[in-house]
């Protein structure tokens, strides 16, 4: 099947809101813990090996990176969080930028939140869900690195996360949940379909 996201190109990296592209059209953002597989997910979904730079060293990119599909649609790689060695000043700056992005960005139509299938949700993951709920933004939680577990264990992790979200007061109407692997391609079509729908493709 034709990959509607494949014609995605690098647009720009922004340290400051002044550098963001015009707030027009539709945008889908990816945000999550450092090293969770955000960039790998963007590469898998666009079918490009090295569109977003992947890294074994967490916490390296503090910019917001914009990719463009055409003049009106963008994918956005937001800086990762939760990396302990990042200085407090950078963490504060990160918080400000992310808050500004979520509160101001009108073209933002949906958020992809990758979560490592082997880890629990962190407080910042939940904070992202709060941002989405505050502006009624559709959310896709990708349970990444599913290839690291057997199918049985992966399904168990999925149920565990659903339970954790329910206990934290989230309704299953607040998010969609997909088992995903950038390595095997598990869940890629389902995730791509959701992203395309948000973009109006």
Ligand X SMILES: Nc1nc2c(ncn2[C@@H]2O[C@H](COP(=O)(O)OP(=O)(O)O)[C@@H](O)[C@H]2O)c(=O)[nH]1
Which of 170, 104, 174 lies closest to 139 in space, CA to CA?
174
Give me the least distance between CB of 101 and Mg ion, in Å please.
16
Closer residue to ligand X in complex, CB, 56/85: 56
Cα radius of gyration rounded to whole Å, the chain: 16
Per-residue mark of binding to Mg ion, 118-157 (x: CB under 5 A) = ----------------------------------------
Residue with tokens 């002044």, as numbered in its chain:
18
- With left for phi above 0 and alpha for psi between -120 and 50, is residue 106 left, alpha or beta? alpha
Q: Which residues are CB-neighbours of 24 under 8 A, at least 6 positions away? A: 72, 107
In the chain the first and final C-alpha atoms are separated, in Å, by 14
Q: Which of 51, 137 has the CB closer to ligand X?
A: 51
Selected binder of ligand X within 145, 157, 175, 199 (CB under 6 A): 145
Pick from ligand X, Mg ion, none: which does 45 bind, CB < 5 to 8 A by kind?
Answer: none
Q: Which residue is nearest to ligand X (CB)?
A: 37
Q: 140 has which bridge partners? A: 112, 176
Whose Cβ is closer to ligand X: residue 55's or residue 62's? 55
Q: Out of 28, 67, 78, 80, which residue is the one contacting ligand X (CB under 6 A)?
A: 80
Using DSSP bridges, classify how beta strands 176-179 and 73-77 pair: parallel, antiparallel or unpaired.
Answer: unpaired
The first and second tokens of residue 189, run together, are 């079509």
In the list 25, 30, 39, 67, the residue contacting Mg ion (rule: CB under 5 A) is: 39
Q: Counting contacts by CB under 6 A, is residue 55 touching ligand X?
A: yes
Residues that bind ligand X (CB under 6 A): 32, 34-40, 54-56, 58, 80, 144-145, 147-148, 181-183
């Amino acid at each position: 099947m034709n990959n509607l996201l494949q014609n995605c190109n690098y647009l720009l990296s922004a340290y400051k809101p002044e550098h963001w592209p015009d707030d027009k059209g539709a945008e889908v953002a990816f945000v999550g813990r450092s090293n969770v597989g955000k960039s790998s997910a963007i590469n898998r979904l666009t079918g490009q090996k090295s569109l977003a730079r992947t890294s074994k060293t967490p916490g390296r990119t503090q910019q917001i990176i914009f990719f463009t599909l055409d003049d009106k649609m963008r994918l956005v790689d937001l800086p990762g969080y939760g990396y302990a060695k990042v200085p407090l000043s950078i963490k504060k700056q990160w918080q400000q930028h992310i808050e500004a992005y979520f509160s101001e960005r009108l073209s933002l139509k949906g958020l992809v939140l990758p979560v490592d299938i082997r880890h629990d949700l962190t407080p910042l993951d939940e904070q992202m869900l709060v941002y989405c709920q505050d502006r009624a933004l559709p959310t896709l939680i990708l349970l990444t690195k599913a290839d690291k577990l057997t199918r049985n264990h992966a399904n168990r992790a999925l149920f565990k996360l659903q339970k954790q979200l329910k206990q934290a007061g989230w309704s299953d109407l607040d998010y969609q949940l997909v088992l995903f692997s950038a390595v095997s391609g598990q869940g890629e079509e389902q995730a791509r379909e959701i992203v395309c729908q948000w973009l109006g493709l």
